[in-house]
Amino acid sequence: MAQIEVRGVSHRYFTMKEETEALRNVNLQVETGEFVSIVGPSGCGKSTLLSLLAGMIRPTQGEVRLFGELLTGPSRRVGYMLQNDSLFEWRDVLHNVLIGAEVRGLDREPARRRALELLERYGLGGFVGHAPKQLSGGMRQRVALIRTLLLDPDILLLDEPFSALDYQTRLSLGDEVAGILRDQGKTVVLVTHDIAEAITMADRVVVMSRRPATITAEHPVRYAAGRLPPTALRKEPEFSRYFNRVWEELKDHVRV
């Protein structure tokens, strides 16, 4: 059984002024432990698809099933990470990581121990008492990821988590995050504009059309499978083959 099942999903937004058809008949299955990237032209409906998976909105048509059950609202088994790290500036790193646990009312001491363990394990052990503003952009995103991991979700939804960062930081954080997520064995759905990032991080790349978006192609990335960090995969001979294949698929949907 697939962990995520999107069946015949269409979504329209209604405002006072207009109606926007964001998604049309989207079908997608993601297996347990799989890492799927979603690429598509700007404004096509990628974030809408993630919001549906997060249970924050309901589809106008079709259904989303997680773990075999119809999704009717946010699930505790799903973590969501956005482009903006949304750290609270007045809380130190540890207390930012603990925020979700507090909201959920988890026991303080075990949560604190696990937070410290994760911070240590992923290179932030020396920054526990720092304020977010004392950290680099890449470190802040790592804190945001650890905050999400603390709640131990089975599924992680990542919406352009690196796009606010400069290119070098983006590359090295991509390596770190890919390593952390493989290490944690999570099911991941990553939305990105960056084809290279999509190919080198995921087991499968899903291409969406322009709005109303549907899935036009899926490319299993057979050479990756967590074998090497994303930056090393960029140097592999198969990389450009996958890149061109995805770009060929995508370019007709991109308007300049």
Ligand X SMILES: Nc1ncnc2c1ncn2[C@@H]1O[C@H](COP(=O)(O)OP(=O)(O)OP(=O)(O)O)[C@@H](O)[C@H]1O
Contacting positions for ligand X (CB under 6 A)? 13, 15, 20, 22, 40, 42-48, 211
- Closest alpha carbon to 6 in 195, 208, 194: 208
Q: At closest approach, how far in Å is the CB of 135 from ligand X?
A: 25
**Cβ nearer to ligand X, comparing 45 with 132:** 45
**Cβ nearer to ligand X, comparing 36 with 233:** 36
The total of other beta-carbon atoms located within 10 Å of residue 186's CB is: 20
Range list of β-strands (E), 128-196: 155-159, 187-191
Strands 69-70 and 155-159 turn out to be unpaired
Q: At closest approach, how far in Å is the CB of 11 from ligand X?
A: 8
- Closest alpha carbon to 165 in 147, 142, 196: 142
**Cβ nearer to ligand X, comparing 15 with 168:** 15
**Cβ nearer to ligand X, comparing 71 with 97:** 71
Q: At closest approach, how far in Å is the CB of 157 from ligand X?
A: 12
The total of other beta-carbon atoms located within 10 Å of residue 150's CB is: 23
* Amino acid in the structure at residue 125: G
**Cβ nearer to ligand X, comparing 51 with 187:** 51
Q: At closest approach, how far in Å is the CB of 226 from ligand X?
A: 26
Contact present, 99 and 108 (Cβ < 8 Å): no
- Give just the sign of the alpha carbon dihedral 116, 160, 250, 33: positive
Q: At closest approach, how far in Å is the CB of 82 from ligand X?
A: 11
